[in-house]
């Protein structure tokens, strides 16, 4: 608690100091991207303006992101459910989950045992970089139940500001604590990140530091699932399988990406200047147009996993115990260093036949420390990879945009791994919507199994496998119409040598060819102030022995929007999630992973939340009653076998945004 208060104090002092020392003038912002501009008048009021973007492909692409200031769906505070139709979940904030949409299971986490907690983690590829005219701060707080019983709280802080027109610093801190409604279910999450960006003509720099920590107790689920039908029995009286078992995960990232660009300054007419540059008193200005970019990307990541099991000797939850008496803690360390150098040729947007090219070469070194076969000894494994790749793409133009690229591992543990992808996007007019587009993406991948899928030793489970490369061909198609608030999609995947987790929680591989097909629709209907958003997902798998997903899933949100006293924007509604019965994957506490099971069917029960959201100026408030159906419906509200969702509970959330 002392450390937390100290952190808040340091942050508050830092915000006050930087806000006073580096308060920006309008003349600063008028300099962005321009050579030889004229300063604006001193004392002129600065209008807030925030630009966001994300980097991908080792810094080769800079994708714009919109700032989320609208009222809709503020009540979806849990990142697990933010963009998902249906998930398998252990019940309270911070605990493992799995997306039930097979085509949304790809993850950017490289440490296998953190993949089921990715939504809570910040990684370099999730960083949103800011460019602001004025300092911008967001405070986000939410709480359920009360302060002393079954409490769950979140407190997030984001502060960003430009020190100069070209240099930005951003600080982010997220904290969450959840006691859970069932015994031995509490969790604690912490996230701290400081990162910066510098962008001026020839030089582009992005770097930062991230630290994530997740701690949670493992209760192994409730002993008797039928107890949830007794609405009068307090949930804390339910017996659970584990009472003295805990998991801990932490990771940290140091990352930087720098680009030096060769190009030229070109004149541009005043009426064609971007808004942030339209401050000059001259008729023309100059902007820098890059031709060639030399990009270097460095990343160092550290991961640590700890599993502590100190149950009574009579506890028989785990089928096997392999290590000597007195051994209660498994720990794993995974460290990785990667370097990527690439050369990018920029396209000329004024020429229809112009397109960009890039080539890259990368090296990665991995060091692993994990338990050995006899418990007390630690195995150390080191390996490295060298890969090359390249791509051609066009990002501008009204006719179409496209991208084709490949990555090939030449030397190292993953030698022979191949990743090819291509995407085409074509804008067109759909029922008077000129912003509509259709997109088709294809991927062909031959992937080497993860190291921990091949070899892993722990007190209660171990395996040593010889796995072939998994071969995957996937085609995705989508139609998007922003004006009509419509998105339609279809996905097709053909997989050979599929790696899955069997009924014992161990990685296994099938030689059977698997086919997965899904159809997706997201449509919002509106009549005056009444809105109805419906997401529907249909999935079909050729063999459910290896992949089990619900055939039909839906998310329906209905709400009524209105304004009180001309200033208070109000939204009252309800969300419903539903999926058909299926053999939902089970969860193994010792690994933190989900696996196939064929004993218990999950689903055919609506999960209902009722809410009210309010917004006045830059303050958002929501009131939410979660899982309303548990009070009047008789259903098994499980999304994972033996892990019930919380009973009906109340939640309050408040978010403040400050632009100066």
pLDDT at 246: 97
pLDDT at 28: 35
pLDDT at 366: 98
pLDDT at 353: 72
Cβ(60)–Cβ(295) under 8 Å? yes
pTM, to two decimals: 0.89
Q: 499-515, pLDDT tens digit by residue?
A: 999 999 999 999 999 99
pLDDT at 99: 97
User: Would you list the DSSP string of 574-625?
Assistant: EEEEEE--B-PPEEETTTTEEE--SS--B----EEEEEEEEEETTEEEEEEE
Euclidean distance between the first and the last CA atom of the chain, given in angstroms as a whole number: 29
- By CB atoms closer than 10 A (0-12, 13-18, 19+), residue 234 is exposed
- C-alpha distances in Å from residue 195, one per residue of 135, 169, 257, 337, 340: 15, 6, 12, 19, 20
Percent of the chain with pLDDT over 70: 89
| Residue 458 predicted with pLDDT over 60 | yes
| Residue 26 predicted with pLDDT over 80 | no
Type and span of the H or E element at 373: none
| Residue 434 predicted with pLDDT over 70 | yes
| Residue 25 predicted with pLDDT over 60 | no
For residue 545, the 8-state DSSP code is T
pLDDT at 607: 94
Report the candidate in 484, 371, 392 with the shortest Cα–Cα distance to residue 432: 484
Type and span of the H or E element at 354: none
pLDDT at 149: 65
pLDDT at 305: 97
**DSSP helix/strand/coil, 350:** coil
Cβ(530)–Cβ(560) under 8 Å? yes
Q: 62-115, pLDDT tens digit by residue?
A: 999 988 776 678 899 999 998 899 999 999 999 999 999 999 998 889 999 999
Q: Measured between alpha carbons, how far is 42 from 28 in angstroms, rounded to an integer? A: 11
pLDDT at 71: 66
Mean pLDDT of the chain: 89
pLDDT at 163: 95
Cβ(114)–Cβ(249) under 8 Å? yes
Domain boundaries in the chain?
Answer: 2-658
Q: 172-184, pLDDT tens digit by residue?
A: 999 999 999 899 9
Q: Measured between alpha carbons, how far is 122 from 495 in angstroms, rounded to an integer? A: 30
pLDDT at 324: 84
Q: 100-136, pLDDT tens digit by residue?
A: 999 999 888 999 999 999 999 999 999 999 999 999 9
pLDDT at 15: 40
For the record, the structure tokens of 141 come out as: 């707080």
Percent of the chain with pLDDT over 90: 74
The residues, ordered by sequence, that sit 6+ positions from 203 with a Cβ below 8 Å of its Cβ are: 258, 259, 260, 261
- 3 — pLDDT class (breaks 50, 70, 90): very low
Q: Measured between alpha carbons, how far is 437 from 401 in angstroms, rounded to an integer? A: 11
- 282 — pLDDT class (breaks 50, 70, 90): very low
Q: 35-59, pLDDT tens digit by residue?
A: 333 344 455 566 788 999 999 999 9
| Residue 375 predicted with pLDDT over 80 | no
Beta-strand relationship, 152-162 and 329-345: unpaired
Q: Measured between alpha carbons, how far is 532 from 540 in angstroms, rounded to an integer? A: 27
Q: 286-298, pLDDT tens digit by residue?
A: 889 999 999 999 9
For 2-658, CATH gives 2.40.170.20
Q: Measured between alpha carbons, how far is 372 from 378 in angstroms, rounded to an integer? A: 5
pLDDT at 638: 94
Residues listed for the chain: 660
| Residue 27 predicted with pLDDT over 90 | no
For the record, the structure tokens of 483 come out as: 């004006």
pLDDT at 505: 96
For the record, the structure tokens of 395 come out as: 């990002």
Q: Measured between alpha carbons, how far is 366 from 388 in angstroms, rounded to an integer? A: 18
Cβ(603)–Cβ(581) under 8 Å? yes
- 399 — pLDDT class (breaks 50, 70, 90): confident
Cβ(27)–Cβ(40) under 8 Å? yes
| Residue 206 predicted with pLDDT over 60 | yes
Q: Measured between alpha carbons, how far is 203 from 181 in angstroms, rounded to an integer? A: 52
- 148 — pLDDT class (breaks 50, 70, 90): low
Q: 182-201, pLDDT tens digit by residue?
A: 999 999 999 999 999 999 99
| Residue 12 predicted with pLDDT over 60 | no
Q: Measured between alpha carbons, how far is 458 from 134 in angstroms, rounded to an integer? A: 52
Q: 3-class secondary structure for 17-69?
A: HHHHHCCCCHHHHCCCCCCCCCCCCCCCCCCCCEEEEEEECCCCEEEEECCCC
């Amino acid at each position: 608690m002392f450390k937390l208060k100290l952190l808040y104090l340091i942050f508050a002092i830092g915000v006050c100091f930087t806000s006073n020392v580096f308060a920006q003038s309008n003349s600063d912002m008028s300099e962005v991207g321009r050579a030889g501009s004229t300063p604006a008048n001193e004392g002129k009021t600065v209008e807030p303006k925030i630009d966001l973007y994300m980097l991908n492909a080792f810094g080769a692409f800079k994708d714009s992101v919109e700032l989320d200031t609208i009222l809709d769906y503020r009540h979806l505070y849990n990142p697990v459910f933010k963009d998902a139709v249906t998930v398998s979940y252990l019940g309270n904030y911070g605990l493992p989950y799995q997306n039930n949409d097979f085509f949304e299971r790809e993850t950017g986490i490289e440490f296998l045992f953190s993949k089921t907690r990715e939504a809570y983690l910040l990684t370099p590829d999730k960083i949103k970089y800011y460019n602001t005219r004025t300092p911008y701060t967001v405070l986000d707080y939410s709480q359920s139940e009360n302060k002393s019983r079954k409490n769950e709280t979140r407190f997030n802080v984001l502060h960003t500001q430009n020190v100069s027109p070209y240099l930005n610093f951003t600080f982010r801190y997220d904290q969450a604590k959840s006691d859970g409604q069932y015994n031995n279910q509490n969790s604690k999450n912490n996230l701290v990140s400081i990162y910066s960006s510098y962008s001026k003509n020839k030089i582009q720099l992005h770097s930062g530091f991230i630290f994530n920590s997740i701690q949670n107790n493992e209760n192994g689920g409730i002993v008797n699932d039928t107890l949830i039908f007794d609405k009068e029995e307090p949930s804390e009286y339910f017996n659970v399988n584990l009472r003295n078992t805990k998991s801990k995960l932490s990771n940290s990232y140091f990352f930087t990406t720098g680009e030096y660009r060769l190009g030229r300054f070109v004149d541009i007419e005043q009426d064609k200047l971007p808004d942030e540059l339209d401050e000059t008193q001259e008729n023309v200005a100059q902007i820098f147009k890059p031709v060639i970019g030399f990009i270097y990307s460095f990343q160092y990541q550290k991961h640590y996993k700890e599993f502590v099991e100190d149950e009574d000797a009579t506890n028989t939850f785990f089928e096997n115990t392999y290590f000597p008496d007195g051994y209660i803690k498994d720990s794993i360390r995974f460290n990785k260093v990667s370097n990527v150098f690439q050369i990018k040729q920029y396209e000329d947007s004024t020429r229809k036949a112009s397109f960009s090219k890039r080539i890259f070469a990368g090296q990665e070194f991995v060091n692993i420390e994990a338990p050995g076969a006899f418990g007390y000894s630690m195995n150390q494994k080191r390996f490295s990879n060298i890969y090359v790749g390249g791509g051609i793409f066009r990002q501008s133009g009204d006719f179409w945009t496209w991208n084709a690229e490949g990555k090939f591992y030449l030397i190292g543990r993953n030698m022979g791994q191949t990743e090819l992808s291509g995407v085409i996007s074509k804008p067109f007019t759909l029922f008077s919507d000129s912003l509509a587009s259709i997109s088709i993406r294809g991927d062909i991948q031959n992937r080497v199994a993860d190291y921990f899928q091949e070899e892993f030793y722990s007190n209660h489970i171990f395996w040593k496998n010889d796995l072939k490369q998994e071969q995957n061909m996937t085609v995705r198609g989508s139609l998007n119409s922003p004006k009509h608030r419509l998105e339609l999609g279809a996905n097709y995947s053909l997989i050979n040598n599929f790696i899955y987790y069997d009924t014992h929680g161990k990685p296994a591989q099938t030689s059977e060819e698997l086919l997965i097909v899904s159809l997706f629709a997201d449509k919002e209907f509106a009549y005056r102030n009444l809105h109805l958003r419906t997401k529907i997902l249909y999935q079909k798998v050729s063999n459910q022995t290896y992949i089990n997903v619900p055939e039909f899933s839906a998310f329906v949100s209905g709400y009524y929007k209105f304004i009180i006293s001309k200033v208070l924007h109000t939204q009252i509604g309800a969300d419903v999630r539903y999926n058909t019965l299926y053999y939902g994957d089970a969860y193994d506490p010792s690994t933190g992973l989900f696996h196939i099971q064929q004993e218990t069917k999950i689903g055919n029960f609506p999960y209902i939340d009722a809410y009210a959201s309010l917004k006045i100026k830059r303050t958002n408030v929501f009131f939410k009653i979660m899982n309303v159906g548990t009070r009047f419906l008789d259903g098994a509200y499980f999304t994972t076998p033996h892990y019930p969702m919380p009973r009906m509970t109340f939640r309050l959330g408040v978010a403040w945004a400050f632009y100066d």
